Structure 1
Amino acid sequence: MNGKKIRVSLKVRIFAIFFSILSATILIFVVSFYRYVSKSTVENLNKEYLSMVNDLNDTSQNLLWKLTLSSQQLLTNEDIQNTICLYEACTDLYQKQQYYSDLLNQISTLTMSETDIALLFFYDPVNDEIIYSSLPLNKRITASCYLYENDLFKYYGPSASQSEFLSNPVFSLERIGILPNGNPIIFSAESGLYSLDRNFENLKQHSAYVIFTNESGDILYSSFPSDVYPDINISDLLSQRNSEYHIFSQKPSQGWSTYVIVPHSVYTSQYKDGIQGFTRMAVIFSIFLALSAFGFWQSIYRPLKLFDHALEQIVTDHEYSGENPSSIPEFDFIFRKIMLLQKQVQEMLAHAVIQEQANTKMQLEKLRAQINPHFLMNTLNTVHWLALMNGQTEIDSITQSLSHLLSYNLDKDNYNTNLQRELNAVNEYVHLQKVRYEFTYTQEVQPSVSNLNYPCPKFILQPLIENSLSHGYREHMDIMIRITILDSEIEIIVSDTGTGMDQSHLETLQETLRSSQILSAGSSMQVHQHSGKGIGLSYVFGILQLYYHALVDINIESNLNMGTTFTIHLPKLKGRGYDVENTDY
């Protein structure tokens, strides 16, 4: 009224807007749930189970049709009919066996591609004799309940097989034919339910059961487990007089019926799971929320823009000359705090970076000095010549190895080397240690023609070998270094078959590794050393993290009395004087 600007806090604005959004969201959810999600879930469940019934019926009819075609093909074949007549009329056992072999070949030729037929046989009802059977028979079908029949065929099943070699329920076909000699012949074929495995497994996953009935309503097959549902009356169940089940059925044109039965508890559980489809409502909610957020943004767009402009000046080290960048008290309060802390934060960050770098380098130098004892090179050179003069070739070899190793390690002005030189230094170290220890040392480079002029820090392999000998040595142990050059990285594996370490020592070593990772991330330099053990490993972990940062990966595995394995993955670096492309080093 007096020209004074009304300042509404951000807290009040957010509360008002989001309370409206929440109320509208609850209303939309309730309406959508009862009008759409519930109905849609029930329809989808019913469609799914009806689809299972249709698939089961289609597969069953396909199997019966294959049986019909096979019977037509075999029973009307003149060669087969003639061979059967010869077989029946023959009394010589040897000749009869020959006719049986001919019959076998003829049938095999015609049924070679019919993989769905599990059993077929020809039966002579006059002589009560099985003329041919693809599998040993246990009994012939004598049941009066059949799936359906017509003038030529009679279909059974699903039921137990006539052969003891088939344990699954099968569909069966029986057909009577007349041979050229006027004698009747009965052909029977069975098809295992292998083609129905997918359908039955799908029903099993949905905890559903299947029942087959013929046109008269006789139950031919039921997957209801009697031990689980001992009191179920299947006839009452199929007549819809049991409210504890949901029944889905289909009746083909032949007159038999297929039922898929789902317990009410399973159906309800799947219904509840299907309600999760209300995520569609989440899309509507997201759109509504986006529109609401846009309105919220519009309501405070101008003060936010001013506040952002003021912050941008601070971030770019420009001094902000304004007073309050917005009309929202919370924004103004935060902005004033940021202005007060700006310079202090920048100074603290700069000081922390410099201090941590200095501390890191100092600590690593301290660790390196502890594990690189400095011997007088001139003294070693004198020992070398004395050994040569006295014919002590072994002492001379050891002295030269020690001289080369110390010359390599004591060059503190140069932290960089390459993998080949590092590997050569390890070889010198191993040569020295073999004087004292009994062990086998091997090294592999894959591929074998690889150039190892990849840059790396010094002294990253020798401490790992030294750890094996100092803390895991046992006579005749094996130590191996394997270097594998990959597409974008280098894998180094140092393993031994020594005494290994128990879980507590392994955890201590892994703690040292984690400490080196924290060190690389910028925390204070505190590499843990336990009882003087692990100085060399601490150096290795620390220098790798400092040199490669987050690009290095180190893994430690150890089992007591089985050995220890260090696995290191290094990136292929360039431009540090020892890259494979830089040959003038």
Structure 2
Amino acid sequence: MKRWLSKSLKHKLSLLLLIAIVLPLLATGAVSYNIATSATEEKAKQSGMNTLRQIADKLEFVIQDVENMSLFIIGQREVQAYLDNDREDVARYTLNVGFLTNLAFSKKYISNITINSANGYPPLSNTTVLYSGLPDVLRKNEEIYRSSTKWWTPLYENQTTEGLKKVVSLVRPIRNVNNFKPLGELSISLDEAEIARYLKESGWEAKGFVLLLDANNRILSGGESAWLNRPVSELFPDIVPMAEGSGVLNYGHGDGQKTILYYTLPSLNWKLVGFIPTQIYTAQNVYVLTVTAVAVGISLLLAAGLVLYFIQWVTRPLTRMTQTMKDINPDEPIPTYEVKSSDEVGLLLHSYNKLSDRIQRLKEQVQLNEAKKKEADILALQAQINPHFLYNTLSSIHWMALMNQDRQIAEMVGALSDFLRFSLNKGEEFCPVQQEIAHAQNYAYVQSIRFPGQFEMEVYIDPAMHQQPMLKLLLQPLIENSLIHGIQKKQEPGFVYVHGELSGARMKFVVEDTGIGIEADKLREIRRQLAWTGNGAPAAKTSYGLRNVHQRLLLHYGSEAGLTIDSEPGKGTRVSFSIPVLEEPA
């Protein structure tokens, strides 16, 4: 099998297309059922969640209305006057009862509004309450109630002239609006039957139901009447705890499996919980599965024919290209290929033609660079060989000066001998940074003896660079150029500064002088001459030292290592270059 694939691109494409087309089509049949199930279930869940939000909006409106009403009642002047009076006032009692009756008349969800006086005056209420379960609820939850400015009770019962009613109430204390003295308490009760009507008329699934739970997950409304005020976990033992916000849970197994949707009312942390039997939205999946199986079968037949056609169509130009390239001679120019299309294969052939032309030009450029490198190395070698005879002669002069006790001549000759010894250096191209600096200092010392008092040189090199290798004979030509073309043409003494710093993976060197500087036109010409790459007419002769150093930097370190020259007439010149840190010389 492996050998069969390796011999032909057509074989590989055949196998890949079979895997890429046939297998996904076969897998579609199995996946489609899950997709259909998920889509139907998701639609039912979204519809159910929208219904819960609509119910929540109604309940939030009722809750907000009751809380706003409570603030309105507490701030009423007649209510405040009745509760804060030194004695019972029948007129105000009658006036306030009428006020509460009118306030609750148009709101069916309000069972009763009751105001209890802290002084023991008769309570104000819009309806007659024969018995109220509120006092028992407040005693059981006294700590929570006393610590709150408003509190919603659990579900409890009130016996009124209209019969027994299950209610949940908003209870809040009433204080004097001027001195905050406690005057009594207000309770506004919501009729559970009215809340249940909201739940039943919401348009929920006929075989499902919706429950309203309080913050302790006890049933406030919905479902069967026997469920009220019982924990939901008691009726549905294996239900998973519901988090804040909204969500979806699965409950039960087999025919009794249900999908549970819940939505939290932000204001009270009450939850609306809807139950949907799973079998409602799974009945449609059989039809979808049948349609999918037929579609997959037809697709398999079409895919088999298309695979054969596309393989032949795609591989035809590549086969012709292979026949053209198999007899190419590497030593000859790469032949071009005729492009007949503009698709990806055509772009590939076009790029191949451009690449062959680029390779040929790069070969010519490499040959030119190698020739220039050899020329520069020969020039450097000549500069090393010429002083060889002088080095031996100067060594003899050095000893003669010592014998004659002429110390200045001996030191000058010794520095010159060290300078020539480094220049020879057995033909090696690289040396440590410390040795290159010493070579430059020997040159400067000889020049300072020749031209006393004309210049001073200061050197600072980062100690971390001392043992790093670098191409030799780079700094001395730059210092020589500063002395000859900058400082010696100036009337007063000057300075030469040599700096070296380590920056990441590169070493930067700067040679700066306080000479006469370079005029702008001449500086542009020098930069143009240094930038000449050998193409076109050659540049006019510039300083041999600058040109030689620049070319050697480019040849050994690349285009980022050339010289950078900055100058200001009358103030001086600054020449710098940057080279990479090498573990070993290239």
Q: Into which bin does the TM-score normalised by the smaller protein fall?
A: 0.3 to 0.5
TM-score, length of structure 2 as denominator length: 0.39
User: Which has the greater radius of gyration?
Assistant: 2
